[in-house]
Structure 1
C-alpha cells in the first residue's frame, strides 16, 4: 500500500513527488510511467524562464539543476505584430537569465532527483483500470503482459494532455483550439566543427501560424511551426518538402539553419489549450498538463508544472490528514490560473493584426469576442 501513487514521470509528476517528500519524508510514494528509465523520447518544451530558479530552490534541487550546465538564455526575440525584430532581454528580470534545455537530460535529471528521495518507480507500466474502495484506490496495471495490482490512499494524474487517470473517471476535457506543432531538430556541427548561430529563442508569425526556434545544448537547434491541425493537414506539413518550402518563406527563422545541417524527421505534437472540468475528486487530483495545458507561445509549460506541484502537494497532505478543504482550494487555484492565462493569450494574439483575415488568426480573434 502506497500513500500516494503518481501516474506519469514527467516534470509535474516528479516535482509533486519531491514536494511531498520535502514535507514528509516518511510518505510511501510511487510513480507509474509508461516509458523506460532511460527516457530517450524527445519531448517538446525546451525553454525555461528566469523565475523557474525560485521553484527549483523551493524543491531543494537548485544546485543539482545548475550542475547540469544547461544553455543560458538571456532573452527571446520575436517578429510579432510588425515586420520588426524585437528582443525582450532578461537583463530586466529580477531572477536573472533563463535556460534552453536538452529535454531528455532535464527529464532524466528530474527522475534522478525524485529517486534520491526514496520514491519508487514502476517503469514500462500502464494502468488500465482504477477502482475506489472505502479506504483506497485499487489500480490494475501492466508491465508488458505482467499484471500488477497497486493500491494507494491517493492518486495523482500527471500523465500530460491525455489525462489518463481522470479519463478513467469520466472527467471531460474542454479544448479551446486545435493547435499542433510540426518540429524538427538540427545538428549544427558540420565536419566536426560547431557553427556559430545566434543563440536564444525566436518566434516569427506568418499568415497561417507562427514559427518557433531555439538553440539547445550540444549544438542542437529546434525549429517548429505552430498552426491548427486542419491547416497543417491542408499544407501537408508532415511532408519534408512542404515543411521546407514553407520554412524558406520565413524572413528570420530559416537563416538560423547552417547549410548542410543534418536534421531529424518531422514530429507532429498536439499543442492545444485545454483544461479539465474537474481537477480534483475523491482522493485524487490532476497536475501539470493533465489539469490544464497552455499554448506554447507562453513558454510556461514546465514552469507551471513546477509551481502547481507545490500547491498539489499541500492539497494532498491536507487530504491525507483528513482535511479535504485543500482539494477545493487547489481546484480554485488551477481555475484562476487558467482564466488569467486565457486573458493574456487573447491579448497577445490580438497584437498580430497583419493577418487578421486569415483563418488561423481569425479564429483567435473570435476567441477574443467570446
Structure 2
C-alpha cells in the first residue's frame, strides 16, 4: 500500500526539523512527514550553537525542548594572525553566550519537538529512490517500508545529497577543505573554551561536547592532508607541536577514535525543481570557520517551508526564484566573510594552504577583518 502526504521532508537534522516546525505553525491543515534515516555517525564533532541560532530556536518555540542537549560555552581562545593568544569571554558577548551541543541528542530532541507539533516522524526511514508522479509530486521508495507519495518534497539530507544529483542538481565547490577529527575521553576536565589555532599547514580546533571528553580537529586542503599524513603519520606528535590545542587537552586523555570528512564550501544548482526544494547542507555547505552551520540550517529549513507552501498555493515560479536568490545571496555573503577571516592570518603567506587562500581570494581587499569564531559542523 502507498501512503500519501502533502509534504515529505527527507532528513531530520536541524534543517528538516525546522522546516517541519514552520509548516506546522503556518499550515496546520497540511499533512507533513519527517523522514529520519537514523544513520547519524557514532562520533559527532564538537559543535557550538551561536547566540543567533539560540534566538531562532526561541522563535520556533523549541528552545526549552532542546535545552538538555546544550551547556553554556565559557568563551573562545585563539592564536590567529598573531603570536599572542586572544580571548573572548562569554559574559561580555553582546548577543548572549554560545552553547556547546551534544549534536546527536540535539537533532533527536528537535525532531521530537516537530512531532509533538503534529508532524509525523518516521525513524529509520531511509529513502532509496524518488520518482516523479504523473499528476505532480513524488513517489519516495523507503527501505523496508511501503512507498510514500508526497505532493511536495523538501530534501534536507545534508552533504549526502543523493536524490539531488539524479534530478540534475550539481554542487559548485569553492574549496577542498577536509577535516581530520580525533575524539578523546578525559578523566579530568581540560580547557572547556573553544580553542582555535592557525599553523603553517592549516588550522586546529578543540571543543568540549556536553557529554564530556574532547574533540580535536585538524583542517587543511584534502591533498595537503593526505600528504601530511604520509610524511608524518604520528598524530600525537603532530598534536604536540601545537600551542593552545595541546595545552587544552588534559593529562592522560584517551583517544577513542578518529574520522576524516569533507569540510568544503559548496552550493548546488539548481536549488529547486518541480515539487522539490533543497534545504540546509543539501542546498549549501559552510566550512567550520564560519560558525554558522546550524543557524544556517535552521534558517534554510524555515525558508524552504515557506517556499513549499507558496508552490502548493500556485506561486511556484515566484517562490522558487525568491528562494534561489536568497540562498545564493547568503552563500556569497558567507564567502566574503570567510575571506575576511583568512586574510586576518598573515604569518605564513608562502605556505601552500595560506597562499591558496590569499592568491585566490576574489573579495574586496578593504573589508574589515574579524576574529574567527569556531564551530565544526558534521557531515550530516
Under a length normalisation based on structure 1, what TM-score does the superposition of the two structures give? 0.91
RMSD: 2.0
C-alpha distance in 2, partners of 1:99/1:329? 32
- In the alignment, which of 149, 166, 169 is matched to residue 167 of structure 2? 169
C-alpha distance in 2, partners of 1:269/1:69? 24
Q: Which runs of 5+ in 1 are unaligned?
A: 190-194
- Is 1:52 matched up with 2:44? no
Q: Secondary structure at the match of 1:328?
A: helix
Please report how far the alpha carbon of residue 15 of structure 1 lies from its aligned counterpart in structure 2 after TM superposition.
1.1
The aligned counterpart of 1:3 is 6
The aligned counterpart of 1:19 is 22
Q: Secondary structure at the match of 2:257?
A: coil
Please report how far the alpha carbon of residue 140 of structure 1 lies from its aligned counterpart in structure 2 after TM superposition.
4.0
- Equivalent residues in 2 for 1:215-254, closer than 5 Å: 215-236=208-229, 242-254=234-246
> For residues 2 and 161 of structure 1, do their structure 2 counterparts lie closer, same or farther at Cα, with a shift above 3 Å needed?
same
The aligned counterpart of 1:93 is 93
Q: Which runs of 5+ in 2 are unaligned?
A: 364-380
How many corresponding residue pairs?
359
Under a length normalisation based on structure 2, what TM-score does the superposition of the two structures give? 0.89
The aligned counterpart of 1:182 is 180
1:275–1:291: 8 Å Cα contact kept in structure 2?
yes
Please report how far the alpha carbon of residue 148 of structure 1 lies from its aligned counterpart in structure 2 after TM superposition.
3.0
C-alpha distance in 2, partners of 1:359/1:48? 31
- In the alignment, which of 197, 200, 203 is matched to residue 193 of structure 2? 200
Residues 108-144 of structure 1: CA distance to partner in whole angstroms, max 9, x if unpaired?
A: 111211221232233333333322234333334242x
Residues 195-229 of structure 1: CA distance to partner in whole angstroms, max 9, x if unpaired?
A: 23222211101111100101221332111101111
Please report how far the alpha carbon of residue 46 of structure 1 lies from its aligned counterpart in structure 2 after TM superposition.
1.1
C-alpha distance in 1, partners of 2:119/2:273? 24
Please report how far the alpha carbon of residue 106 of structure 1 lies from its aligned counterpart in structure 2 after TM superposition.
1.0
Compare 306-315 and 280-289 and name the one that shifted more: 306-315
C-alpha distance in 2, partners of 1:274/1:251? 31
The aligned counterpart of 2:337 is 344
1:274–1:294: 8 Å Cα contact kept in structure 2?
yes
Residues 10-32 of structure 1: CA distance to partner in whole angstroms, max 9, x if unpaired?
A: 11111111111111222211122
Q: Which runs of 4+ in 1 moved over 4 A?
A: none
1:184–1:263: 8 Å Cα contact kept in structure 2?
yes
C-alpha distance in 2, partners of 1:303/1:220? 24
